[in-house]
C-alpha cells in the first residue's frame, strides 16, 4: 500500500480551507491545517472534524505575508509526515474600498496576502514536492469574470493568481508537478458573510435567487473540486482554472 498523501492548506481554520481538510481526511490525505493568529476561528474545530472523518492532521500557524512563516509551514509537512504532495494556496482577505480611497497601502496590503501570499505558498510547496505533486490556488469570479465595485485590489490579486498558475504549470510540468486554480462564485463562508467587505447574510440570500441553482455554494462544494484537481483523476490537467459557481457566471441576463 502506498504512503498517505500530505497537503498544506493555508487559511484552514474556517470556510473553504476547513472543508478541504475534512474532505481530504475522508480520502486518507493528511493535512497541515494553516491557521492565522488574528483569525477568530478555532483551528481545533477543523482538527476535530478531520478526526471525526477518520483522518489525521496537525495545526500550524502561518502568515502568508511572510516567506519565512510560509517556508516553516511547508517544512512542517516534511518534518511531521516525511513528505509533501499537495500545496493549497487558499488564504485570502477581502476588503471594500472605492478607487478614490484606494491608498497605496490598501492596495499593497491586499496584494501581499491574496497574490504574493499565493506565490509564497506555491513556491514553498514546489521546493518540497516531487513528481506527482499538485498545487491549487483559490481565485475568484471577481478576478476571472466579473467586475466588482469597491474591490479593484481584490480583483487584481485574484486575476493575478490565474496568470501565476498558468506560468507555474508550464515551469513545473517537466518535473511532473501540476498547478491549477479554482474560481469560486458566491460561497457561504466567514468572508462572504461579512456585510462590510462582502455581501453579508442578507446579500447572500438575495444573490442566491439570481443563481441558476437558486442558492449560493457551500465550502464543501469548492473543497471537493480542489481535491479532484490534486487527485490522480486530474493527472493530465495543469494550468487550468475551474469555475465553481452554480451557473452564476454563464447565466444570460436579458
Ligand atoms: P474565510 O475567511 O473563511 O477564509 C480565509 C482564510 O484566510 C481565513 O482562515 C483567514 O484566517 C486566512 N488568512 C487571512 N489572512 C491570512 C494571512 N495573512 N496568512 C494566513 N492566512 C490568512 O473565507 P473563504 O471564503 O473560505 O476564503 C477562502 C478563499 O476563497 C479566499 O482566498 C477567498 O478570497 C476565496 N473566495 C471566496 C469566495 C466566497 O464567496 N466565500 C469567493 C471567491 C473566492
pLDDT in the model for residue 250: 97
* pLDDT at residue 158 is higher than 70: yes
List pLDDT tens digits, range 177-194: 999 999 999 999 999 999
Q: What is the C-alpha to C-alpha distance for residues 63 and 43, in angstroms, rounded to an integer?
A: 14
Q: Ligand 1 centroid vs 130 CA: distance in angstroms?
A: 27
Confirm if 123 and 77 have CB atoms less than 8 A apart.
no
How many Cα atoms within 13 Å fall on the side-chain side of residue 118? Answer: 26
List pLDDT tens digits, range 23-46: 999 999 999 999 999 999 999 999
**CA angle, residues 196, 101, 62, in degrees to nearest 5:** 60
- Closest atom, ligand 1, to C-alpha of 188: 41
pLDDT in the model for residue 1: 61
* pLDDT at residue 21 is higher than 80: yes
Task: Count the neighbouring beta carbons within 10 Å of the beta carbon of residue 53.
Answer: 15
pTM over 0.75: yes
132 Cβ below 6 A of ligand 1: no
46 Cβ below 6 A of ligand 1: no
Percent of the chain with pLDDT over 90: 98
62 Cβ below 6 A of ligand 1: yes
14 Cβ below 6 A of ligand 1: yes
- Closest atom, ligand 1, to C-alpha of 16: 26
Band of residue 208 on the pLDDT scale cut at 50, 70, 90? very high
Q: What is the DSSP letter of 174?
A: G
Burial zone of 62 (CB within 10 Å; 0-12 exposed, 13-18 middle, 19+ buried): buried
Which of 24, 81, 86, 154 is flagged as catalytic? 154
pLDDT in the model for residue 253: 84
List pLDDT tens digits, range 99-143: 999 999 999 999 999 999 999 999 999 999 999 999 999 999 999
Amino acid at each position: 500500500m502506498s504512503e498517505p498523501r500530505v497537503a498544506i492548506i493555508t487559511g484552514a481554520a474556517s470556510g473553504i480551507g476547513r472543508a478541504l481538510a475534512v474532505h481530504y481526511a475522508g480520502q486518507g490525505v493528511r493535512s497541515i491545517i494553516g491557521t492565522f493568529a488574528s483569525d477568530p476561528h478555532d483551528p481545533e474545530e477543523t482538527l476535530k472534524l478531520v478526526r471525526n472523518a477518520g483522518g489525521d492532521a496537525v495545526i500550524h500557524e502561518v502568515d502568508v505575508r511572510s516567506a519565512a512563516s510560509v517556508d516553516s509551514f511547508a517544512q512542517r509537512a516534511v518534518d511531521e509526515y516525511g513528505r509533501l504532495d499537495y500545496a493549497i494556496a487558499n488564504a485570502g482577505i477581502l476588503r471594500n474600498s472605492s478607487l478614490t480611497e484606494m491608498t497605496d497601502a490598501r492596495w499593497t496590503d491586499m496584494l501581499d496576502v491574496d497574490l504574493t501570499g499565493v506565490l509564497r505558498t506555491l513556491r514553498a510547496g514546489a521546493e518540497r514536492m516531487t513528481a506527482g505533486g499538485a498545487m491549487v490556488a483559490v481565485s475568484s469570479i471577481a478576478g476571472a469574470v466579473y467586475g466588482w465595485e469597491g474591490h479593484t485590489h481584490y480583483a487584481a490579486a485574484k486575476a493575478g493568481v490565474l496568470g501565476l498558475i498558468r506560468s507555474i504549470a508550464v515551469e513545473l510540468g517537466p518535473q511532473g508537478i501540476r498547478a491549477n486554480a479554482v474560481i469560486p462564485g458566491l460561497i457561504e463562508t466567514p468572508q462572504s458573510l461579512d456585510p462590510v467587505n462582502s455581501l453579508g447574510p442578507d446579500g447572500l440570500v438575495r444573490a442566491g435567487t439570481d443563481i441558476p441553482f437558486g442558492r449560493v455554494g457551500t465550502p464543501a462544494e469548492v473543497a471537493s473540486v480542489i481535491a479532484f484537481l490534486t487527485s490522480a483523476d486530474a493527472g493530465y490537467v495543469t494550468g487550468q482554472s475551474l469555475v465553481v459557481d452554480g451557473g452564476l457566471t454563464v447565466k444570460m441576463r436579458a
